[in-house]
Structure 1
Amino acid sequence: MIDGLAVNGLSKHFGGLQVARNLTLSLPGGARTALIGPNGAGKTTFANLLTGVLKPTSGTILLNGKSIGGLSEAERVRAGIAKTFQITNLFRDLTVRENIRLPILEREHRTKKVFCRSDGTPEIEFEIVQLLRDLELTPLADKPVRGLAYGQQRLVELALTLASRPKILILDEPAAGVPSTESHLIVEAIKRLPADLSVLIIEHDMQLVFEVANRIIVLVNGAILMEGTPEEVVANSQVRELYLGGGHD
């Protein structure tokens, strides 16, 4: 069985407009891969194809050797594909702990016990404590989300995503909107992710990309221009001209 995600010949057309062109790539277990490219390159389209928001015109997506093409968005989450978003989507009046509890209860089909404490479900409370510790959110556990700095809110969102126990984690511009003084929180959190988790980072912050990714895929006009190590990408003259040199996404 193939470990991780395998995409073969993935294409997407909207009428005569082709937004994804024969995309073929793999995310093996433990991968730390970044997807970069200029505005309109098709990065968001690709992520939406992986998560089931969009259906491909052609091609296959395999998770651990099994096709997930027929699965809905919710079914793909349950199968192990999870995605964060460019804008935080949290319950701002709840505490950090209460926010993290929600997806765990949903995963365990215990949504009627949203505000239950450890005397009711000790295994769930233990998992919350672990996530808080892993993302260094313990001091903020009982603070309402609305009072947190934006970088801290992004960490809470990451905790919620990890609570679904994904096999493939898609980080959609994890540093978007985060002040430069807080961006190190995102970098450090990504570095601490479980070693066996496959991570795809969609990001325009090249400093973050070079700090956390060991493979980079460059997407241009819906097609893969190249894939390689950070060193190989930097050395490619087309990439420097089309993306790195322009500095825009």
Structure 2
Amino acid sequence: MTGLEVRGLSKRFGGLVVSENIDFDLKPGDRKALIGPNGAGKSTFANLVTGILAPSGGEIRLDGRDISRMGEAHRVKLGIAKTFQITTLFPRLTVRDNIRMPILEREGRGYRLLRRADGEAGIEAEVQSLIDQFELGDLADKPVRDLAYGQQRLVEMALTLALKPRILILDEPAAGVPSSETSLITRAIERLPQDLAVLIIEHDMDLVFRVARKIVVLVQGRILTEGTPSEIAANAQVRELYLGGGHD
């Protein structure tokens, strides 16, 4: 199980180069963060990995299998999942119903999305397990629209984890979350399965330095450097380009 391997990945829109010759690895159990200034190409990279965008060059491999030309839906089935900057929940449904939906879809039982899976104890147990993992017990039977924004982000993470991914991309999990609720996101990331490979794209440096074991710095579509949090914090060029200035 070699995980995700990216080699020479490039993306061009006409004459505009947004990703150039990126080499990147994400192995089972990794906790990596991708940071960089505005326009660095972080979201483009995530969209290339998930299949939302097709690369102009290079390879993306999962356990040695070339998936570069596969579409997004196929990659989800192979175990690559991504959360989004804006929550994609069903606000009128309860937390429990929202979490049940991707599980039933995954099991090919989408026809009964809005019904409790009575008689299917395994499904309901999985729903409850995710509710417990993300500390949503007191909110489980409330409509999502009644939740604070940070709590909604937890539900979104639970939905993504319900797909049973092997590669999880968290796209700005703390975006729009009040500072008083950021600890909810941090704790949720810390409780993710240990064998899950996690890539965090985030601007909250406190969160990044707390949960990431390695940090990759992207500048103008190219990787500037990669290292441990302490190595990145001590890197003068990174401080000048990013950490010491404004965040995007």
Q: TM (normalized to structure 1)?
A: 0.98
Distance apart, 1:15 and its partner CA: 1.1
Higher mean Cα deviation, 113-122 or 223-232? 113-122
* 2-structure distance, mates of 1:3, 1:47: 19
Question: Corresponding residue for 1:158?
Answer: 157
Question: Corresponding residue for 2:189?
Answer: 190
Q: TM (normalized to structure 2)?
A: 0.98
| SS of aligned partner of 2:5 | strand
Question: Corresponding residue for 2:5?
Answer: 6
Unpaired runs of 5+ residues, structure 2, are: none
Question: Corresponding residue for 1:245?
Answer: 244
Distance apart, 1:179 and its partner CA: 0.4
Question: Corresponding residue for 1:124?
Answer: 123
Question: Corresponding residue for 2:232?
Answer: 233
- What pairs up with 1:1-249 in 2 under 5 angstroms? 2-249=1-248
* 1-structure distance, mates of 2:2, 2:139: 36
Letter in 2 for 1:238: Q
Distance apart, 1:184 and its partner CA: 0.1
* 1-structure distance, mates of 2:226, 2:187: 24
Distance apart, 1:71 and its partner CA: 1.4
Letter in 1 for 2:223: I
Deviation readout 1:190-211 (Å, 9 max, x if unpaired)? 0000000000000011000000
* 1-structure distance, mates of 2:230, 2:54: 34
Letter in 2 for 1:153: Q
Pairwise CA RMSD of aligned residues?
0.8
Aligned residues: 248
Distance apart, 1:247 and its partner CA: 2.9
Distance apart, 1:121 and its partner CA: 2.0
Distance apart, 1:115 and its partner CA: 2.7
1:55 to 1:118, Cα distance in 2 relative to 1, 3 A: closer
* 2-structure distance, mates of 1:118, 1:51: 30
Letter in 2 for 1:248: H
Deviation readout 1:206-231 (Å, 9 max, x if unpaired)? 00000000000000000000000011
| SS of aligned partner of 2:179 | coil
Letter in 2 for 1:161: T
Distance apart, 1:246 and its partner CA: 0.4
Distance apart, 1:118 and its partner CA: 4.2
* 2-structure distance, mates of 1:42, 1:144: 35
Deviating above 3 A after TM superposition, structure 1's stretches of 4 or more consecutive aligned residues are none
* 1-structure distance, mates of 2:73, 2:218: 27
* 2-structure distance, mates of 1:145, 1:91: 7
* 2-structure distance, mates of 1:182, 1:9: 38
Letter in 2 for 1:165: K
Letter in 2 for 1:171: L
Letter in 2 for 1:7: V
Higher mean Cα deviation, 68-77 or 42-51? 68-77
Distance apart, 1:152 and its partner CA: 0.3
Higher mean Cα deviation, 107-116 or 207-216? 107-116
* 1-structure distance, mates of 2:204, 2:236: 19
